[in-house]
A and B are shown apart, each in its own frame.
Chain A
Amino acid sequence: MSDQSSKPVVPKRIQAVQMNGIVKRFPGVLAVDHVDFELNSGEVHALLGENGAGKSTLMKILYGLYNLDDGEIVINGNPTSMRSPNHAIQAGIGMIHQHFMLVPSLTVAENIALGMRSSRGMLLDLDVVSARIRELSELYGLEVQPEAPIWQLAVGEQQRVEILRALYREASLLILDEPTAVLTPQEVDDLFRILGQMRDDGHSLVFISHKLHEVLAISNRITVLRDGRLVDTIPADTATKQLLAQMMVGREVVMRYEHAARESGESRLKLDSVSALSNRGDLGLRQVTLDVRAGEIVGVAGVSGNGQHELAQVIAGLRPSAEGKVWLEGQDVTSSSPAKLNTLGLSHIPEERMLDGIVKDFSVAENLVLQDFARKPYAWGMFLRFGMIARKCKQYIREYEIKTPSHETPTKSLSGGNIQKLVLARELSRQPRVLIAAQPTRGVDIGATEYIHHRLLEARDSGTAILLISEDLDEILALADRIVVMYEGQIVGEVSREDADVGTLGLMMAGATVAKAPNISENVIK
Chain B
Amino acid sequence: MLSDILTASVIASAIRLATPYIFAGMGETFGQRSGVLNLGVDGIMLLGAFAAYYAVLETGSLLFGVMAALATGMLMGLVMAFVSVTLQAEQGISGIGLYLFGLGLSDMLYQRLVGTPVHVDGFPRVDIPVLTDLPVLGEIFFNHNFLVYVAFASVPLSAFVLTRTTFGLKIRAVGQNPEAADAMGVNVARIRYFTVIIGGAFSGIAGASLSIALVNFFQGNLTAGKGFIAVALVYFGAWRPYWVMAGTLLFSTVDALQLQIKTLENALNLDIPNELAVMAPYVVTLVALIFASKGVEKPTALTKPFERGE
List residues of chain A with CB under 8 Å of any chain B CB.
26, 60, 63, 65-67, 84-86, 89, 95, 97, 100-106, 110-111, 113-118, 122-124, 165, 413
A65 B309 Cβ-Cβ under 8 A: yes
A101 B297 Cβ-Cβ under 8 A: no
The digit string for B155-175, where 1 denotes a CB below 8 A from any CB of A, is: 000000000111111101100
With A85-B184, A86-B185, A102-B180: A114-B164 Cβ-Cβ less than 8 Å: no
With A110-B169, A122-B165, A124-B165: A115-B181 Cβ-Cβ less than 8 Å: yes
The digit string for B230-244, where 1 denotes a CB below 8 A from any CB of A, is: 000000000000000
A106 B183 Cβ-Cβ under 8 A: no
Nearest CB in chain B: distance from A228 CB, A: 15
A26 B310 Cβ-Cβ under 8 A: yes
New A-B pairs, 13, CB < 8 Å, besides A86-B185, A102-B180 = A26-B310, A65-B183, A95-B183, A101-B177, A103-B172, A103-B180, A110-B173, A114-B173, A114-B184, A122-B165, A122-B167, A124-B168, A124-B169
Most buried by B among A66, A97, A115, A118: A115
List residues of chain B with CB under 8 Å of any chain A CB.
164-170, 172-173, 176-177, 179-187, 297, 308-310
Inter-chain CA distance A188–B310, complex, in Å, is 32
Q: For A60, list chain B residues within 8 Å (CB).
A: 309
User: Within the complex, which residue of A67, A84, A89, A123 is in contact with B166, where a contact is CB–CB below 8 Å?
Assistant: A123
Closest 6 CB pairs of A and B: A101-B180, A115-B184, A86-B185, A101-B183, A115-B185, A103-B177
Inter-chain CA distance A123–B169, complex, in Å, is 10
- What are 22 A-B residue pairs whose CB atoms fall within 8 Å in the complex? A66-B310, A84-B185, A89-B185, A95-B183, A102-B177, A103-B172, A103-B176, A104-B176, A105-B172, A105-B176, A106-B169, A106-B172, A106-B173, A113-B169, A114-B170, A114-B184, A115-B181, A115-B185, A118-B166, A124-B164, A124-B169, A413-B309
User: Interface residues of B: mostly helix, strand, loop or mixed?
Assistant: helix
Inter-chain CA distance A104–B221, complex, in Å, is 42
Inter-chain CA distance A100–B187, complex, in Å, is 19
With A102-B177, A115-B185: A66-B309 Cβ-Cβ less than 8 Å: yes
Inter-chain CA distance A97–B179, complex, in Å, is 11
Q: For B184, list chain A residues within 8 Å (CB).
A: 85, 89, 101, 114-115, 165
Inter-chain CA distance A58–B111, complex, in Å, is 61
Closest to B174 in A: A103
Nearest CB in chain A: distance from B184 CB, A: 4
Closest to B165 in A: A122
A97 B177 Cβ-Cβ under 8 A: no
Q: For A67, list chain B residues within 8 Å (CB).
A: 310
Inter-chain CA distance A105–B181, complex, in Å, is 13
Inter-chain CA distance A122–B163, complex, in Å, is 12
Inter-chain CA distance A106–B166, complex, in Å, is 13
A114 B186 Cβ-Cβ under 8 A: yes
